């Protein structure tokens, strides 16, 4: 299975335009824009996942989180998250 991750852009976030200010969200250095651009629904779960990733310093720390059961996600969602986490961590180096 191949999973393609798209970067956040106005076009990729247009479906959520009534939920928040896209321009402001795109200026965020957090993970939430990445999640939304890649198919996560805007809501408490995506916000919690984004916060966990943003506050973690390693992929292992994310997967070991006590706040959210990442193992309950589908394999496709896990693969997307792995790619997004890598993108986020590599951008901080």
pLDDT in tens, the chain (93 residues): 677 899 999 988 887 777 778 888 888 889 999 999 998 988 889 999 999 999 988 889 999 999 999 999 999 999 999 999 888 766 654
pTM score, whole prediction: 0.85
C-alpha 3/C-alpha 18 separation (Å) is: 27
């Amino acid at each position: 299975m191949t999973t393609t991750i798209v970067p956040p852009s106005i076009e990729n976030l247009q479906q959520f335009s009534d939920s928040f200010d896209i321009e402001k969200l795109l200026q965020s250095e957090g993970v939430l824009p990445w999640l939304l651009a890649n198919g996560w629904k805007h809501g408490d779960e995506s916000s919690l996942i984004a916060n966990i990733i943003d506050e973690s310093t390693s992929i292992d720390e994310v997967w070991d989180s006590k706040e959210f059961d990442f193992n309950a996600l589908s394999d496709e969602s896990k693969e997307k998250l792995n790619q997004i986490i890598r993108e986020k961590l590599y951008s901080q180096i």
